[in-house]
Structure 1
Amino acid sequence: MLSAALLTSAPTLGGATEPLPPDLGMAPISDLTVATTAAGQRQLRFSATIVNVGRGPFELSASRTSTGSAFTVSQAVAQTDGSRTVTDVPATLQFGGDGHGHWHVRDLESYELVRLDNGVKVGTSSKGGFCFFDTTAYRLSLPGAPQSPVHSASGCGVESSLTVSMGLSVGWGDRYPWTLPDQYIDITNLSNGQYRLIATADPRGTFVESDHGNNATWVDISLSNRKNGAAVKVLGYGPAA
C-alpha cells in the first residue's frame, strides 16, 4: 500500500491511474568462501545481488543544502499514465570511503548468519551501506523490463555532491561481489557446524514495495577447520526472488 504522504499524482483519461511499485528481493547467494586476513580474522565472504521483480523501477533521490548537512531522501513510484508519485522515506545516506568513493543508502540490505540447529544469530555483515544501479540482468522477461541497463554508478555521486539519484530497473539486479570491502561476516570465533546465511532486501520495510514478504533468501552451509585452513560447503538453497 502506498503512503498517504505521496505528493504528486495525475489522473488517466478514462479512469484513475494505478501505481507500478517495485518489488525488491535477493538473487541466490553465491561465491561463498572463507578468507583469513593477515591479522588472523576469519571471514565468510560471499556475493549477493539485490533485484527488482516488481511492476516498476525502484528509484531514490536525495538532496541536501550544503556539504555539512544531512540528505533528505525520497522515493519515486511510477504510475500507469507515465507520471511519478514522490514521497519522503526515512532512509539515510553515508559516504563510502572504503574504496567505493560514492554515497550509500544505509540498511538497504542485511546479511545474518544463524546456527542451523537452533536459529541463534551468530554474526552480521560488516557492510551497512549500498549504492544500487543496474549491474546484472536478472529476469528480463518481466513486463516493463528494459533489455539494457538504465541506471548507472554516476547517480551515486561524489563526496561533495548535493544531490544523488539511484535506481534499479524492473528485471535487473545490483551485484555485490565477494571481493568488495566489508562484503563478509566475521566467523573467527565460530565452531565447526552448520549455519544458515540469510540475505534480506529492505529489512526494515523502509521503501514502497508491492510485497515486503518475499525480500529474503538463504543458503545453508557447513563450516569446518582443516589443516590448510577453514572451508565452507553449501548444503542447500532457499527461495530467491
Structure 2
Amino acid sequence: MTTTRTTRLRRPLIAGTTAIAAIAAVTVTAGFAATASDSAKAAAAGPDLRLIAASSSITLTSWKEDPGVYLDLGTYLTAEGTPLELKVTRKSYRDPVTITQTVYEGGKARAKALPNGTVKDFSGLPGFAEITVTDKAGKQVLRRAESFCPNNASGRVRPDAPATSKYPESCPTNPFTLGSVWGVEKGWAANTYAGSYTRPVELAAGTYTAKVSVAKKYRDLFGIANRPATVKVTVQERSFEDGRGAAARTAGSGEHAGHGAAHPAPSAAGAAHAGHGPGHAPTPAQAAAAVTSGAGPSYNVGHGPLKAAPPALPWALKKQQTARSARVGDTEGQTDGSRKAPALGPLAKRPAGKPSVPNVPKPDLRSLPAYGITISDGGEDVPGKDYLAFSANVWNAGPAQLVVDGFRSPGKATMDAYQYFYDAKGKQVGYTPTGTMEWDPRPGHMHWHFTDFASYRLLKADKKETVRSGKEAFCLANTDAVDYTVKNANWHPFNTDLATACGQENSISVREVLDVGSGDTYTQDLPGQSFDITSLPNGTYYIQVLANPENRLKETSTANNSALRKVVLGGKPGKRTVTVPAHELVNAN
C-alpha cells in the first residue's frame, strides 16, 4: 500500500446516533410478537430473531448538488427469548478473526463457535442484509448486500423489555482491534442499515419498492425465518437553493421528543463541527449517511468507532465544513456543537498522607501499531518540506482503570498529577505522584494534557532512533473499543467526549481516565508531532509507539508497551511516497 504527498491527513470520523420510533406497534400489527413456545425454545438455545420494518413506506432525499440516496429503509432485527450475543476475537495479529455466539442451555450460558470465515474483521456480519429495489413497472433497478452490526442504533419493541441495553454502541473500525462484543438485547431491535459502512445509490426521483431479506447463510446459522420486509420508497430531489435545504433538515431533526435538551439538533455552524482539529483525527468534508427515524443527530469524537447511522449534511453545509475543516475542534464545554457531556470529577482535594502503591489490580497500557500513515506537508505550504503523518493508539488491557487526577496550586501554570489505586470493592487504597499536567491553548485542543503518557519515534532499519515526535502530552479519552472481551472491560465508557474530559483553562483540578478495554488514538499530522523526513534517505524505517515512556505510571506489565510498524520511504524531495506493508495478517492502513 503506497501513498503520496497530501495537504493534510484526514480520516473518517463522523459518528451519529438514532432512536427507533413506533417499532413496538409495528411488531404487534405485523404479527411478529414472540409466542410463549417460541420464547421457551429460544431460552434452550439461541434467541428468536425476526426481521421487521418500522414503516410500510419511507421518503428518501437526493440533493441536486450531491446526487444519491442512502438506503436507510427502517428495517430492524428483533431478539426475543434471549439476547443475540456474539464475541469476536483474534489471539494475535498472526491469527484470523473468529466469532462465537452465547447460547443458553438449562439456564447456563456457553460459547458456541460459529463457522470459520463467518467474519473477517470487526465491522459486522458481512452480506447479512440483501436489498432489491424495483421501479413502478416492476423492473429491478438495484440489488446489493450490506453488512449488519448488531450494535447498530437500537430500541425496545415492548414496554416490559430491559430499560437499557448492556451491549456496546457500534462496531469497531480500528484495523488493530483485538476483541469486540456485539449484541441485540432481549425485547430490543437493531437497525439493519449499514450506515457509515455503506455507499449512496443513484435513484431518480420517483416511487420504488424495496425488499430486504436476511441472507440464507445467516437464516440457517441463527434460525431466522425467511420473511422479507417490503417498504415503499419515495425518492425526492431537493436543492439547497430552494430554501428547503439545511434549515428544513435541521429543524426536522430537532423536533423528536426525548432528545431536545440533552442532544439539541446541530445548527448550520454546529453541524460543520463534526470532529477534532489538530491533535485528534479531524473529520472529513463528506457526510456519511441519511438521518434515520428518531432523534436528531449527536456525535462522538476523537478517533472512536463509527455508529450505525450518521446523518448526512446538505450540500451547502458540506461546503462550509470543507472550508472550516482546518480549524474545527474542541471548544469550551463541547466538541462539535451537537451535545455537551459532563467531565469526570476529580477528588475534592489533592491526596494527603504517605504515597503508596498497594498490591491491587492495576492498568496494563499497551501500544497498537501505527496506522493512517501518509506523507504530509504538515499544513505548511513550503515547497520540498515533507512529513510522515500517522495515527497511534495506546489502550488499557486492565484489569483496572487508569485514573489520574491533576491538582493546581494557585498561580501555577501546571498541575501536579497523581495516579490512584482501588481494591476489588472500588475503594481507593493508595496513590502515587506521576508527573504533571499542562494547559494546551492551541485551537483543536484547549484542555489539560497529561505529560509523558506516550512517545512516538521513527527508527532506522536497524531499529535505532532517527527522529522523535514532539508529542508527549495527552488528554486521555476512550476513543476506541480495542478489546471488550478482556476481564473487567467497560462496554459503556464514560469520557469519550474529549472537550470536557480534560477540563478548562480556569480548572483547579482535572480527572483523566482510560477505561479497561478502551484506547486513545491521536493523529500526528502537524510539524512537531509528525516526523520531519525532508532530509532522510529513502529506505526502510519503523514507527515506534511507546506507552508510559518514563515508567511514571504503575501498571501490570511494561513488557508490552512498545509496538512497531514498518514503512518504506521513496520518491523525491517534495514528492515523497510511503509504502506500508501488511503487519502480519493486518493488511490495512
The one-letter code sitting in structure 2 at the alignment partner of 1:215 is N
- Whole-Å Cα distance in 1 between the matches of residues 494 and 528 of structure 2? 27
Q: Is residue 38 of structure 1 aligned with residue 381 of structure 2?
A: yes
Higher strand share: 1
Aligned to 2:474: 130
The one-letter code sitting in structure 2 at the alignment partner of 1:185 is F
- Which one of 201, 225, 229 corresponds to residue 575 of structure 2? 229
- Whole-Å Cα distance in 1 between the matches of residues 435 and 360 of structure 2? 21
Deviations along 1:56-94, one digit per CA (max 9) or x if unpaired, are 100100111224354221111221122123323231222
Q: Is residue 85 of structure 1 aligned with residue 426 of structure 2?
A: no
Aligned to 1:211: 557
Aligned to 2:364: 23
Q: Is residue 195 of structure 1 aligned with residue 545 of structure 2?
A: no
Q: SS of the counterpart of 2:438?
A: strand
Q: CA deviation at 1:226?
A: 4.6
- Whole-Å Cα distance in 1 between the matches of residues 405 and 526 of structure 2? 24
Q: Is residue 5 of structure 1 aligned with residue 350 of structure 2?
A: no
Deviations along 1:193-217, one digit per CA (max 9) or x if unpaired, are 1111100010111101010111010
Aligned to 1:109: 454
Contact kept, 8 Å, 1:103 with 1:157, in 2: the verdict is yes
- Whole-Å Cα distance in 2 between the matches of residues 46 and 109 of structure 1? 14
C-alpha distance 142-22 of structure 1, shift in aligned 2 (>3 A): same
- Whole-Å Cα distance in 2 between the matches of residues 30 and 112 of structure 1? 14
Structure 2, unpaired ranges of 5+: 1-353, 585-589
Q: SS of the counterpart of 1:75?
A: strand
Say which is worse superposed, 178-187 or 78-87, in terms of deviation.
Answer: 178-187
Aligned to 2:587: none
Equivalent residue pairs, number: 227
Q: SS of the counterpart of 2:501?
A: helix
Say which is worse superposed, 90-99 or 175-184, in terms of deviation.
Answer: 175-184
Q: CA deviation at 1:155?
A: 3.1
Say which is worse superposed, 143-152 or 174-183, in terms of deviation.
Answer: 174-183
The one-letter code sitting in structure 2 at the alignment partner of 1:21 is K
Q: CA deviation at 1:179?
A: 4.5
Higher helix share: 2
C-alpha distance 120-208 of structure 1, shift in aligned 2 (>3 A): closer
Q: CA deviation at 1:156?
A: 0.7
Normalising by structure 1, what TM-score? 0.85
Deviations along 1:136-179, one digit per CA (max 9) or x if unpaired, are 11101112111122224323111221101100000001111344
What CA RMSD, in Å, does the superposition of the two structures yield over aligned residues? Answer: 2.4
- Whole-Å Cα distance in 2 between the matches of residues 119 and 181 of structure 1? 23
- Whole-Å Cα distance in 2 between the matches of residues 126 and 70 of structure 1? 18
Q: CA deviation at 1:180?
A: 6.4
- Whole-Å Cα distance in 1 between the matches of residues 411 and 368 of structure 2? 35
- Whole-Å Cα distance in 2 between the matches of residues 228 and 66 of structure 1? 48
Q: SS of the counterpart of 2:434?
A: coil
Contact kept, 8 Å, 1:114 with 1:123, in 2: the verdict is yes
- Which one of 495, 509, 530 corresponds to residue 163 of structure 1? 509
Contact kept, 8 Å, 2:454 with 2:548, in 1: the verdict is yes
- Identity rate, percent: 27
The one-letter code sitting in structure 2 at the alignment partner of 1:78 is Y
Contact kept, 8 Å, 2:460 with 2:540, in 1: the verdict is yes
Say which is worse superposed, 143-152 or 44-53, in terms of deviation.
Answer: 143-152
- Whole-Å Cα distance in 1 between the matches of residues 371 and 494 of structure 2? 25
- Whole-Å Cα distance in 1 between the matches of residues 412 and 573 of structure 2? 51
Aligned to 2:441: 97
Contact kept, 8 Å, 2:364 with 2:556, in 1: the verdict is yes
Aligned to 1:72: 416
Contact kept, 8 Å, 2:476 with 2:501, in 1: the verdict is no
Normalising by structure 2, what TM-score? 0.36
The one-letter code sitting in structure 2 at the alignment partner of 1:221 is V
The one-letter code sitting in structure 1 at the alignment partner of 2:362 is P
Q: SS of the counterpart of 2:435?
A: coil
Aligned to 1:13: none
- Whole-Å Cα distance in 1 between the matches of residues 564 and 464 of structure 2? 15
- Whole-Å Cα distance in 1 between the matches of residues 457 and 473 of structure 2? 15
Q: SS of the counterpart of 1:220?
A: strand
C-alpha distance 69-111 of structure 1, shift in aligned 2 (>3 A): closer
Q: CA deviation at 1:125?
A: 0.6
Contact kept, 8 Å, 1:20 with 1:79, in 2: the verdict is yes
Structure 1, unpaired ranges of 5+: 10-17
Contact kept, 8 Å, 1:104 with 1:156, in 2: the verdict is yes
Q: CA deviation at 1:38?
A: 0.9
The one-letter code sitting in structure 1 at the alignment partner of 2:355 is A
Larger radius of gyration: 2
The one-letter code sitting in structure 1 at the alignment partner of 2:363 is P
- Whole-Å Cα distance in 2 between the matches of residues 202 and 227 of structure 1? 34
Contact kept, 8 Å, 1:221 with 1:236, in 2: the verdict is no
Map 1:138-149 onto structure 2 (within 5 A): 138-149=482-493
